[in-house]
Amino acid sequence: MRRFRKIIVDGVAYKWLFRYDDYDYCNAPYLLIIMKSTPKAALRINFPIAEHFLLNSGLPAVFQGKKVVINLNQPSYVSQIIHHCRETENEIPQDGYKRLDGIEILKQIGYEIPLSC
């Protein structure tokens, strides 16, 4: 089983984990973010794309006119997502899970994701 990684965004400590649900022969990638001070509450950010493995090795995108590769195992992308969620009031709830669409969050941040995904 994979362990949570630690990250600090805007002075707040979080734990995060990027993984796949592999039930029913369907790999559904998601990012699980937990505020360290409230371990029973979490954001579950789902990434519903056909090429699910690209989020682990690199999803091609365009950001501010430059080609980039989004890899959700890298803290810089997780930090951007957490920061965006804090700004848009998609903060971690006090108890339970809050589910969000990760592709929509990436688009709101400014990434252009190819339609083939």
Q: Provide the whole-model pTM.
A: 0.83
- Kindly tell me if the per-residue pLDDT of 1 is higher than 60: no
Measured between alpha carbons, how far is 34 from 30 in angstroms, rounded to an integer? Answer: 13
Sorted by where each begins, the domain ranges of the chain are 5-112
pLDDT of residue 75: 93
Span 12-67, pLDDT tens digits = 999 999 887 665 545 678 899 998 888 888 899 988 776 656 666 778 899 999 99
Contact between 83 and 9 under an 8 Å Cβ cutoff? The reply is yes
**Average confidence (pLDDT) over 92-98:** 74
pLDDT of residue 93: 72
Contact between 58 and 71 under an 8 Å Cβ cutoff? The reply is yes
- Kindly tell me if the per-residue pLDDT of 105 is higher than 90: yes
3-class secondary-structure state, position 76:
helix
